[in-house]
Structure 1
Amino acid sequence: MLINSFVVYFSAVLGRADRTCVEYAKEIRYFAAWLEPGLPVDEVLMLAMRSDVRRYIESCSERSAATRARKISTLRTFFAWCVDAGHRSDNPVAGMPRPKISRSLPVYLSLDDAKALVRSARSRDDLFYRRRNTLVIILYINCGFRLSELAGIQMHDVYDDAIRVVGKGGKERYVYLNNSCQRALRLWLGKRGHGSGHLIVSKQGQGLHPSSLASVVKLELVKVGLGHLSTHKLRHTAATLLYRYGHVDIRALQSILGHASIATTEIYTHVVSDQVIAAMESHPMAEF
């Protein structure tokens, strides 16, 4: 099947993450099913025309611009592979423009909210959950890990003052652990032990799936009245606090967060700096 062959190429040759491969395959199948639900998928994909792709994208007009852009990119990549592999003579998506994506400012926790979240995790009665959840929250807020990155950390990735992380596309990076992270890590390992396996585990010693880890974080957010926020907002919080209070260079922040593009990191420059605050407070109308 074409999609399976594409996924092998996408994973083995281009080194894309398993999750990315699954999402691409799902999107391609969805397009084929939308176009001709009664025909074999391979046949539909081989006969698909540019007008078909355009109609498909138009049918998704109520979806966000980011979603429509992702659909175009997925199909363009797939059909480019089809041409390269000799399955088609043309790429019906080549040169098709993507909708403009407007970047919204990230939502994040205030410094006081972040401290309240850590204090809440530290107040749990059960020692296992107290130490594990505290580490999870502290790593999130200090290091800005992605959910999948935190869930995937193995014991052999953990050092005294750093953690090796495998990010998007299998890209590796080392994230330094500050004093708060190191202390929370020591306390957790004192309860978990130093045996092999995932760093973050259940009471049964099993690694937590990203969705289970998200539930852990969500529970802590609910406890402090922040249940309306998603777990990803803690990554935004880490980046914002680093930029606002850590005075880090934008390139350093990019390295910490594991962004492939500096443009993704630049969204965090929305934070009001001390210099801007001082300028606004010195405005001649500030006290009028």
Structure 2
Amino acid sequence: MPDSAADHGLLYIVATPIGNLGDISQRAADILARVDCIAAEDTRHTQRLLQVLGIHKPLVALHEHNERERHESVLQRLRQGQSVALVSDAGTPLISDPGFILVRAAREQGLAVVPIPGPCAITAALSAAGLPTDRFTFEGFLPAKRKARLEVLKALRHETRTLVFYEAPHRIRETVAAMVEVFGSERATVLARELTKAFETFYSGTAEAVVEQLAGDDYAEKGEYVVMVAGAPESSGASATGIDPDDLLTVLLREVPVKVAAKMASELTGLSRNELYQRALSLKP
């Protein structure tokens, strides 16, 4: 859709920098300067960006705690012919950020929604991770509680696409430890911390090696993370016999040692004994 000074009543979804302010696009800056109002996840954070850009616009707060009640007032502005820019604290709105309720309602009411693409932590991290990116799945934030986190990871253990998560710094060590427990110690893992900022850091290697890297870094619990994990090998799902190897190992481990369980499971499923041994270690009570 063309951008012209005559455009009104449009909802712009504007991507903003995830760290380095130099990543703001000229088009994004132009839109922010043109709109009648900016709906921001955190008005104080957005105000700082606008000050750098020399832009003065009315701001309304639209975040996860008020979006359900506040989105109607934004829609009313659009219906009155005002143009509105939606921004999150950093990156592309709606990617694990507020905005879904507003955008869905705008489309249901026939209002125009225009994406202004730009920075996104997911694509920035994947582009430099060295993991397969032809197919990946973004899973957002894992649950904070250990039991729920393990359940989500176990549901993903046979996923062959590269897995991508966001994680908070104070949970990063326990999250990667949980991945070792569920996916095994040898799964290729890459963490991106403080993307585009002065202390941008990548941790990479096997999951076990990444655990060690985090343990040796005093700054590991500072800055937001993108967590990327290589998908499971194609052979790690149900075997040709239709038997789920993890279910089989769970039963065998009740009666026999890990090595014996791996050997028996390999003979029954045709899967790699070494791979099954690693799985058995993570499944052993």
Specify the TM-score bucket, using the shorter chain as the normaliser: under 0.3
TM-score by length of 1: 0.26
Greater fraction strand: 2
